[in-house]
Structure 1
Amino acid sequence: MRFADLRNRRVAVWGFGREGHAVIKALRSQLPAQALTLFCSVAEADAARAFDAALEIVAGEPDAAALSQFDVVVKSPGISAYKPALLAAQAQGTQFTSGTALWFGENPDARAIAVTGTKGKSTTSALLAHLARSLSVRTALAGNIGLPLLELLDQPADLWVIELSSFQTGEAGPLELGVVTSLYEEHLDWHGSRERYVADKLKLADAARTLLVNGQQPGLLERTAMHSHRLLFGTPEGWHVSDGFICRGAQAVFPIEQLAAPGLHNALNACAALAALEAIGMDALVAAPALARFRPLPHRLQPLGAHDGWHWVNDSISTTPLATLAALESLHGRTVTVLVGGHDRGLDWTPFVDAMRSAPPNAIVCMGANGARIEGALRSAEIPCPIMRVADLAGAVAEAKTHTPHDGVILLSPGAPSFDQFKDYAERGRRFAALAGFDAAAITGIEGLGIG
């Protein structure tokens, strides 16, 4: 769908976050005479009026009748496509689109790589843009990573690196390359089931002329086996990790110890980025040394430093138990107290509990809405390390200090979203930094967003 398709139709925007702001600005730019309604929360209504006085504001959650009054509703990604009201309005003829879909509609010929995955998509996207720029390619980095595509509408770039969440993969237009970094259980509250989550995530394959996937995941390989042009990373024939190096086939290319983003999973993300460059015909071997200049993204295994005798690591982006396991693996051999728990989406913590049987950390502090469930599973399994439960992050930090020897690591890697106590993972990470004694304001956003 293009902006021209919305002219003289009844149009509403649903959601007033950053995506909603970008949609409204783009609509005003492209269709200045278009009447426009905004569905937003009651708390957002005054800010919305100040943002655009010409908007018709409808405060509160819209029902099917309200949505059905419009020909087209442009919704924000966080609003589930499976809400009953949305499905009912859709059945009555209302079309639903998004800022992402509108950008692709306006840019059908853009050279675009879209990156998705349960984990690793942001780091891989940022690495890919960083490496392309090291080759003097004018590259845009946008999407779910923190910059809506519509904020870059009408701006030129030679290569577009676009991170897409599972909420957005079905909105992508034709792509030169799609990348899937990993596929685990996630966002079941939005998608409704694990099978639907997987199916939605892999809609990216339908849009991608070439598909690059993680060759270490049998389930992902099985689900993408029929793609006509599928490439792999993480296998010995291509870009993979071996003996402390990022390798291309038998050639050792880059020592992992020089990669500032810690952990084997980040080395694998680097493999994905290098393989993606190669897949579109760029010289990945020439780009590889630039990995040494890449700065890790905030809240992703971010070493905050030492304070009060402990080392502090902020992995607030961790929203699945498997992500927490990856964080612990990256700190193997060190004395680690891990802080887990948050908003409960009913994810299965069994793999985490099983791993703790054989490789327990120094201590585990359970917190938040699902803290009691995690604690119960750990105690039932008789995990051989101290296990504490507290109400909130402040209590978790206090407990961690009590149970962690000096020179040990206090790791925030919750394995759960933050919505039980925080606006988002970034707010949670900044609060952790402040509780640890660091300047939370110094944790800035992701470098490299936009065009460079």
Structure 2
Amino acid sequence: MTPLPPDYFAGKKITIMGLGHFGGQIAAIRYLLHQGAIITVTDIATEDKLKDSLELLKGLDVTYHLGGHLESDFVDADMIVVSPAVPKDSRYLKLAAQKGVSLTCEMNLFLDRCRGKVVAVTGTVGKSTTLGMIESILQAAEQTDFPALGLRKSWCGGNIGKSLLEVIADIQPNDIVALELSSFQLDDLAEIEYSPDVALLTNIYPNHLDRHGTLDNYIDAKANITRFQQPGDYLISRIGDENLEKICDLCPPQVTQWYFGEGDDANLKVRLVKHGEGHASLEYRPREGAEWEKLIDASEIYVPGEHNLFNAAGAAGTCLAIGISAATVARGLQNFKGLPDRLQLVGQYGQVRWYNDSKSTTPESGMVALKSFEPGTMIAIAGGYDKGSDLTAFGRQLAACCRITYCLGQTGPNLAATIHAAGGAVENVESLEEAVRQAAEIVQPGQVVLLSPGCASWDMFENYQHRGRIFTQAVEKYARK
């Protein structure tokens, strides 16, 4: 990767393709304006649909072409900054390429100029929670471990909805930058041939096949997290995942590979140990060939579910690779209280707990959430935008685990049919609020109501955060009665 010169953007005509609501494009606009670029924003969405993002850009010297694209914005520009959500086969991108206009994205702009040591997390399920755990550990380490390691400060951002591009000038070479990277962002990394200093892979299941086409293409995009790593870098991944093994096989030589999971494999760095009667702990090897030592008891990790113990194991291995002590890793995990929209307890009324797991946008993440609670104690709300994922196993597990499932969205009817065929109780509903209202009428003390859609949100909501807010508001409205 060859960084762009400091004054590269001054006077350049740059088109921002896709404004959206996620924040990355807004940060890119502000950064590029500060660098002296001439900015045009174009989006197929109308001004009314984008009013929240436009409000954040109020007063800035930007030209807007909304409700559709103009060819001139692509052929007469010096550069296009493309939203990850824009399809790669867009005819406007093809026009720009034919004219020799360079294409980039917000994350590539950031990584091109980031001076810090980068730690990145990806996977299909659990990457946001795992990054949150890493952030908690890094915060715990700043006062205790960082001085001895020659480190100054930690930063956290990426696909969690927080761009670091605007603060890039503040990031120093002795800082740690922790990022969540999506398959879309990783796909774009090939353009700059970049991989992070420490890479963590949580798991790989079929996902975003509407974008990538095949599982192999999806895996190939994810593989960019290690494909360009350098000697001395680290790759941490869960042992026994066949799809992850395909990525690990692409890891360059002289990159250290560590694993987390269960068992006693010689390559394991952190492992989950089950001691019986519901007791479990995480253990680690201080060095190769050493005896296992206790890292933390499972009861000290606040977020529920065995899957979160594996998330904690991955986060621990990543931070151990940085050089952070096991004691600090344990303290950081103890401090972590969970993230919004990820098995978030949003209400407890009359001995009934209401959980918001709106970040569950894949059937695999939905199935993981179901395993966090006792079978038969749950009322579930599931369904949403159709990404082309196979929902059969998810539907069968809903049938087996839940008193009843309320299905909604594009996938609702097919998911309901699968649940019914598997012998489960199910009902289709028109809205999330209606699902909450009906659940509140039948739920019993000691039971759980779980929003874990297993599908994306785009058919009915702006994003998964919007879906989570609507659920939480509905819980406030109906569950308090």
Same fold (TM over 0.5): yes
**Counterparts of 1:73 and 1:48, CA distance in 2:** 22
2:61 counterpart residue number: 54
8 Å contact from structure 1 (residues 368, 391) kept in 2 = yes
Q: 1:254 to 1:333 in 2, by over 3 A?
A: farther
Cα deviation code 1:64-98 (max 9, x no counterpart): 66422223101222223343432343243221111
Equivalent position of 1:246 in the other structure = 282
**What's the offset of the Cα at 1:282?**
2.4
Pick from 259, 262, 278 the counterpart of residue 232 of structure 1: 259
Q: Could you list the per-position Cα deviations for residues 392-446 of structure 1 after superposition, in whole angstroms to 9, with x for gaps in the alignment? A: 1122113323443332111000001111211111111121112112799xxxxxx
Q: Is the CA contact 2:138–2:332 (under 8 Å) kept in the aligned structure 1?
A: no
How many matched pairs?
Answer: 434
Which residues in structure 2 correspond to 1:241-320 (within 5 Å)? 241-243=272-274, 244-249=280-285, 250-320=292-362
Cα shift at 1:366: 1.0
Using the TM superposition, give the Cα deviation of residue 346 of structure 1 relative to its aligned residue in structure 2, in angstroms: 2.0
Among candidates 126, 132, 141, match of residue 126 of structure 1: 132
1:412-451 equivalence runs, <5 A: 412-437=451-476
1:184-203 equivalences in 2 (<5 Å): 184-203=205-224
**Distance 1:314-1:356 versus aligned 2 partners, 3 A rule:** closer
CA distance in 2, matches of 1:438, 1:259: 31
Normalised to the residue count of structure 1, the TM-score between the two structures is 0.89
Deviation at 1:372, TM superposition (A): 0.3
CA distance in 2, matches of 1:304, 1:28: 40
Specify the alignment match of 1:448 in structure 2: none
1:216–1:235 Cα contact (<8 Å) kept: no
Q: 2:170 aligns with which of 140, 149, 155?
A: 155
> How do residues 109-124 of structure 1 correspond to structure 2 at under 5 angstroms?
109-124=115-130
- Separation in 2, partners of 1:395, 1:49: 33
- Indicate the residue corresponding to 2:106 in structure 1: 99
Aligned position for 1:386: 425
Between the aligned partners of 2:436 and 2:14, the Cα distance in structure 1 is 47
What are structure 1's unaligned runs of at least 5 residues?
441-452
Map of 1:444 onto structure 2: none
- Larger deviation: 239-248 or 164-173? 164-173
Inter-partner Cα distance in structure 2 for 1:50 and 1:223: 40
Identity over aligned pairs, percent: 27
Q: Counterpart in 2 of 1:371? A: 412
Specify every segment of 5 or more residues in structure 2 that has no aligned partner in the other structure, as ranges. Answer: 147-152, 275-279, 286-291
Question: What's the CA shift for 1:304?
Answer: 2.0
On the 8 A contact 1:6/1:72 being kept in 2, the answer is no
Give the distance between the partners of 1:377 and 1:49, measured in 2 at CA. 43
CA–CA distance in 2 between the matches of 1:224 and 1:406? 47
1:156 deviates by 2.7
Contact 2:392–2:415, Cα closer than 8 Å, also in 1: no
Structure 1 Cα separation of the partners of residues 351 and 131 of structure 2: 35
Cα distance in 2, alignment partners of residues 220 and 376 from structure 1:
32
Tell me, what secondary structure is at the counterpart of 2:183? coil
Q: Which amino acid aligns with 1:13?
A: I
Identify which range, 43-52 or 174-183, moves more after superposition.
Answer: 43-52
Is the partner of 1:183 in helix, strand or coil?
Answer: coil
Mean CA deviation greater in 91-100 or 6-15: 6-15
Asked if structure 1 preserves the Cα contact closer than 8 Å seen for 2:375 and 2:402, the reply is no
The alignment yields a C-alpha RMSD, in angstroms, of: 2.5
